[in-house]
Amino acid sequence: EIVMTQSPATLSVSPGERATLSCRASQSVSSSLAWYQQKPGQAPRLLIYGASTRATGIPARFSGSGSGTEFTLTISSLQSEDFAVYYCQQYNNWPPGTFGQGTKVEIK
Amino acid sequence: EVQLVESGGGLVQPGGSLRLSCAASGFTFSNYAMSWVRQAPGEGLEWVSGISSGGSSEHYADSVKGRFTISRDNSKNTLYLQLNSLRAEDTAVYYCASHRSTTCYSHLDSWGQGTLVTVSS
């Protein structure tokens, strides 16, 4: 089973600043990597798939990069609505489609 | 607009059973694979089970294999998850989600709001 490791666990950022979240796979997942955003009491929402393609309706301030084992989600200028927990998930080796443990982006 | 609405959650004793349902609308349900993902209180996301668009392929996490059964009725646009031999560690919000493919080898692009399953005596 592929293990997905996200870092940091918590990221404190001021509004308007840039946030960089990392996700590492225990073995190559090619570009089969998605990012999801989850706010308290809500379902997860797809942000990025194929490592770098924004889902429908996702603002351009969200970008994804990487391939193989190292991936990054960047939020270029944090808005108040972006404070949430972010999960990566690989879907190259299925089952299971393993998730990372999440990175909480909080207000500094 | 894609809508996924889960139901069937509740309080059940250890060893008991539940059947979860997920009613889909706003897209051609029979064209897409579906999965169940759960989230224990205060924890992260755990993929539980997936099924191909036509229902011929089913997949399970090791933690639920032999206890949970996924199925779908494409004529009713509904996904199911039968939960048997429930344990305290199965307590979680269960989300249904759609893949953007006929197989589970793809991302999850739409999610329901979830249904809470609590296993306790």
Q: Which tens digit of pLDDT belongs to each residue from B85-105?
A: 999 999 999 999 999 899 999
**How many residue pairs bridge chain A and chain B with CB atoms within 8 Å of each other?**
68
CA B111/CA A66 separation, integer angstroms: 25
Residue B114 in contact with partner chain A when CB distance is under 8 A: yes
Structure token digits, residue A89: 């998930």
User: pLDDT tens for residues A24-83?
Assistant: 999 999 999 999 999 999 999 999 999 999 999 999 999 999 999 999 999 999 999 999
pLDDT of A96 higher than 90: no
Which of A18, A42, A23 shows the shortest CA–CA distance to A33?
A23
Q: How far is B110 from chain A (nearest CA, A)?
A: 7
CB contact under 8 A, B105 and A99: no
pLDDT given for residue A54 in this prediction: 98
CB contact under 8 A, A43 and B111: yes
Inter-residue contact A46 to A34 (CB < 8 Å): yes
Low-confidence ranges of chain B (pLDDT < 70): none
Contacts of residue B66, defined as CB under 8 A and 6 or more positions apart, other chains included, come to none
